[in-house]
Amino acid sequence: MPDVTFRDFAMAAMPNPALAAQHLQTLLGLDAPAAEAATAHFKSKMTDPAFMMKAMSLRTAVTSGSDAEITALLRDCFGLTATDAPLATLRSRYPAPA
């Protein structure tokens, strides 16, 4: 599969939550049940325009933000409480800025 992005996840969340969950497994290193729960959390918040702006900020955060900022977005956008492993997975794909 080509490199998966958060845009791919967001585009799949509404019409194909199973595919979106698979994308989160790749992006965040989640197991299937955690990815499904995170997708459901995201999908439940999608109708809130403020949430969508926050979700769109994740791309910027992973490429230029701090670990604290990313962790907060992982909690808010995906309902994750354990964020160390997903953060490490993200950092392996998107190293912290120097």
What is the per-residue pLDDT across 19-73, written as a single tens digit (0 to 9) for each? 999 999 999 999 999 999 999 999 999 999 999 999 999 988 988 989 999 999 9
Distance CA 13, CA 23 (A): 10
pLDDT at 1 over 70: no
User: Helices 6-13 and 32-45, interaxial angle, to 10°?
Assistant: 70
* pTM of the complete model: 0.91
Q: What does each C-alpha distance from 90 to 43, 65, 83 come to in angstroms?
A: 21, 12, 10
Buried (b) or exposed (e) across 35-58, using 16+ Cβ within 10 A? Answer: bbbbbbebeebeeeeeeeebbeeb
For the stretch 74-87, pLDDT in tens is: 999 999 999 999 99
Q: Which residues contact 96 (CB under 8 A, 6 or more apart)?
A: 66, 67
